Structure 1
Amino acid sequence: MTTFTYTGPKAPADDASEMPDFSKKKVFMGFWHNWGPSAGYQGGLTGEVPLEDIPVEYNVVAVAFMKGAGIPTFKPYNLSDEEFRRQVGVLNKQGRAVLISLGGADAHIALKKGEEQALANEIIRLVEVYGFDGLDIDLEQTAIDFADNNTVIPAALIRVRDYYKSQGKHFLITMAPEFPYLRTGGKYVPYLNALANYFDWISPQYYNQAGDGLSVPELNPSWLTQNDGVRKKEFLYYLTTALVTGKNGFVKIPADKFLIGLPSSIDAAANGFVVDPNFAKWALDKLKADGNPVKGLMTWSINWDCGTNKNGDPYDWRFKRYYSSMIQ
């Protein structure tokens, strides 16, 4: 166990100081935007929902994002620190977790060897100030292996985990990589290896990869693409099977530490939306029948689940309504 002295602000003994246990729970996870309304890929508009009003079906909320030059950080965009923490406490009292998500598509994070302690201190400070229950690594593109990110971030997270373990708490460590980075030799492999005995779950993004996919020899045609809506159920099933078994060129992630990541609306991602939720149910049922029931589902994002399309029609929590019951 790594030991060090943290000298920053300490959390009060309130509801937000709890870290809920998810070791035996299914997970229905959604990302939450720490910014105002924004336009989507099809001209729609995100919704706004306070943390405390997020539907209870979302038992894990990942706040986007912790980022910035130097040591990345976080600040609520429209709330005081105290009010943000109070709302985190509302979810914690319900047994729900609130994570801070590190990265995002536009994050230019560049950590260097020797900054492990500084990053660990900042993560702990954010936990103590805001009540976060863990951290989700959501680095994308060049940021994944830029500078020394893939060694500094795992080392810092191990220090944070050990710090809270010494207090009898479990700090959650999760990741949401785009699935191509999980191929053998992929950019996320160093994170998986360094945190092999530490991560709680991985939520691969099954969106924004267009024609990328995987080859399944027993199928004809054998190539399954992420943006093929007709063969979507096969894609969901065979890609997940490859990942939870470590076959077809992908690394292995245990099914009980695996969440399938899907867009919540056609506006949420450039491609990858599942038009018929029954495709996902078929895949999940088949995985369960195989003895590989996954831990849950993740979506980008809660704000798109309550957003509107280009005509102003509400998405009306479609993802939550259709999918939350699939992982019970």
Structure 2
Amino acid sequence: MPAGTFAASAWAPNVSYTQGDLVTYGGSTYKCLQSHTSLLGWEPPNAPALWSLQSPGGGGEEDTQPPSAPTNLTAPVKTDTSVSLSWTASTDNVGVSGYNIYKGSELAGTATGTSFTVTGLVPNTLYTFTVKAKDAAGNVSAASNAVTVTTNPSSGGGGGGEGKKLIVGYWHNFDNGSGFIKLRDVSTKFDVINVAFAEPVGGSTTGTIGFTPYNYTDAEFKADVAYLQSLGKKVVISIGGANGQVQLATPAARDNFVRSMTDIIEKYGFDGIDIDFEGHSLYLNPGDTDINNPTTPVIANLIAAIRTIKYHFGDQFILTMAPETFFVQVGYSYYGGNGNGVDNRAGAYLPVIHKLRDILSWLQVQHYNSGPVTALDNEYYNMGNADFHVAMADMVLQGFPVARNANNFFPALRQDQVLIGLPASVNAGNGYTSTSEVQKALDYLVTGKSFGGRYQLRNPSGYPGFKGLMTWSINWDAFNHFEFSNSHRSYLDSLQ
């Protein structure tokens, strides 16, 4: 619908509104204050920076009758990660303004018509869907009939190339002594380039994120992003880093995060986002012990924000995370919400990963800058060798009881959702592992070919769908004469 043509129509998400447009919501009329594309969570009463109340109770219907329930809900088309739904329209005494689509009890999206495709689903998984109608006064109907669907088995892939083993690298949007590289000059051995970093503006708690290309004009940067994409590469914006603490402790911070990140992604044409929250960005409040139902605001708001961004950009949008081992594997031994003197950050990424696993492209835990970690065999392993990489990867490929509580289990990720993160050189961080040692670990992880180490895979035949490697960083790799990208690209290609 063209911008500027709204005459008190019902507010809806994913619509481009122009300053001065009028909408109705909850029986009231609102005027647009800033041009924007609407998102779930930005309803006029919740976004006073975007909408001004014009006539309370005067912009819509004055009765309170809800629409009739949608009928004949069916799922005519499904894939491994999506289900297309259709239904018979509801009726209302004034008019139906749209439909809410539910996956179980969770809102999966909204539609103005009588069809919707739910994306980001897990292959070979059972889902139940229902639909409810709504009118301009905010009245919501009873649920439609429920339809239960099992998605198709996985077709492989996971972002950045169907079935291909990936090399992901972080590109410095700064110069720390490793040398500055233009994006168009990044080694072609990398499949995915993570631009590091988008960082908070105005403090860690505002939720507003900013990004300014280093040593580039905006036009030059956009051109280089487009050039890499023309070569089949994916360019992702990474958020946070060691110096970029982000705490979404309030709904306002959550909404600022969604709004600012959406603007950055659309401005530069990024293919996705990478969540690289470190330090005290994530933590668990005392008593927040269930990874299925996290209650700590910085956790719950981050989950909601990422899901909103993902739904806005669609199924092809890449979502990755790069936590440290302390925030993931250490959760097998200690969990921050349990209290009793445990660091409240221990395992704090687990509920985020778990609640977003259906839309997660891959997890790339940093196997560096880590202390000793207890693995599934209840033995400690130190970084920098094949045993450590195999043991840490096996934990997310097998799943584990959080804080050893069998009733609070972190399920295994799909094989194609797992990469491991490594320093590109001895200059790049603690835990550098030689090329031969890395490939020894990969031989075991991918093919089950043991090198006779201490750690024994829970799955002796290995994980042939394992997705690949991440490195910090592209710049340190170039500084080290491309040892990482050249040697590991050849090795990974041999596994295809």
What TM-score do you get using the length of structure 2 for normalisation? 0.55
Structure 1's 78 and 6: CA in aligned 2 closer, same or farther, altered over 3 A? farther
Counting only pairs closer than 5 Å after superposition, residues 18-97 of structure 1 correspond to structure 2 as 22-36=161-175, 38=176, 45-68=177-200, 69=203, 70=206, 71-97=208-234
User: Greater share of strand residues, 1 or 2?
Assistant: 2
Q: Distance in 1 between matches of 2:256 and 2:476?
A: 34
Partners of 2:392 and 2:306 in 1: CA distance:
28
CA shift at 1:247, angstroms? 4.1
Q: Does 1:258 align with 2:404?
A: no
Could you tell me how far 1:80 is from its partner in structure 2? Answer: 1.4
> Per the alignment, do residues 5 and 149 of structure 1 end up closer, same or farther by CA in structure 2, a change over 3 Å counting?
farther
Aligned to 1:199: 360
User: What is the SS of the residue equivalent to 1:142?
Assistant: coil
Answer yes or no: is the 8 Å Cα contact 1:214–1:224 preserved in 2. Answer: yes
User: What amino acid is aligned across from residue 299 of structure 2 in structure 1?
Assistant: N
1:174 aligned partner: 320
Q: Distance in 1 between matches of 2:391 and 2:248?
A: 36
Distance of 2:417 and 2:350 partners within structure 1: 15
Deviating more after overlay: 182-191 vs 246-255: 246-255
Identical-pair percentage? 31
**Number of aligned positions between the proteins:** 291
Report whether the alignment pairs 1:273 with 2:412. no
Larger RCO of the pair (alpha carbons < 8 Å, separation 6+): 1
- Alpha-carbon distance between aligned partners in 1 of 2:170 and 2:398, rounded to the nearest angstrom: 27
Cα contact 1:177–1:205 (8 A) shared by 2 = yes
**One-letter amino acid matched to 1:120:** V
For the pair shown, the structure with the greater C-alpha radius of gyration is 2
After superposition, the Cα gap between the structure-2 partners of 1:6 and 1:107, relative to the gap in structure 1 and judged at 3 Å, is farther
Q: Which SS does the other structure have where 2:366 is aligned? A: coil
The residue number in structure 2 matching 1:311 is: none
Q: CA deviation at 1:86?
A: 0.6
| Matched residue, 1:16 | none
Return 186-195 or 150-159, whichever deviates more: 150-159
Task: State the secondary structure of the residue aligned to 1:159.
Answer: helix
Q: Deviations over 1:212-254 (max 9, x none)?
A: 1224649xxx43211xx5xx11222222122211148694332
Q: Deviations over 1:144-187 (max 9, x none)?
A: 2388332222212211221222xxx5111100001221124411
1 CA distance for matches of 2:399 and 2:221? 40
TM-fit CA distance, 1:21: 5.1
Question: 2:399 — aligned with what?
Answer: 246
Deviation at 1:95, TM superposition (A): 1.1
What is the rounded CA distance, in whole Å, between the counterparts of 1:292 and 1:281 in structure 2?
A: 14
Deviation of 1:25 after TM superposition, in Å, equals 3.2
Contact preservation (8 Å) 2:477, 2:484: yes
The whole-number CA distance in structure 1 between the counterparts of 2:376 and 2:164 is 31
Aligned to 2:462: 291
- The CA deviation string for residues 39-82 of structure 1, in whole angstroms up to 9 with x for no partner, is xxxxxx30221101101111101011111232112111221111
Indicate which of 310, 322, 330 corresponds to 1:161: 310
Aligned position for 2:487: 322
- Please state how far the C-alpha of 1:143 moved relative to its aligned partner: 1.1
Determine whether 1:122 maps to 2:260. yes
Q: Distance in 2 between matches of 1:144 and 1:27?
A: 28
What amino acid maps onto 1:139 in structure 2?
A: F
Alignment pair present for 1:138 and 2:276: yes
Structure 1 unmatched ranges of 5 or more: 11-19, 39-44, 308-314
Hey, what's the Cα distance between the residues in 2 that align with 1:3 and 1:25? 35
Contact 2:245 2:279 (C-alpha < 8 Å) held by counterparts: no
- The farther-off stretch of 191-200 and 143-152 is 143-152
Amino acid in structure 2 at the alignment position of 1:301:
S
> Which one-letter code corresponds to 1:24 in the other structure?
G
Per-residue CA shift, 1:280-309, capped at 9, x if unaligned? 1111111122231310100001111122xx
**In the alignment, residue 177 of structure 1 is paired with which amino acid?**
P
Task: Provide the aligned C-alpha RMSD in A.
Answer: 2.4
Structure 2 Cα separation of the partners of residues 216 and 176 of structure 1: 21
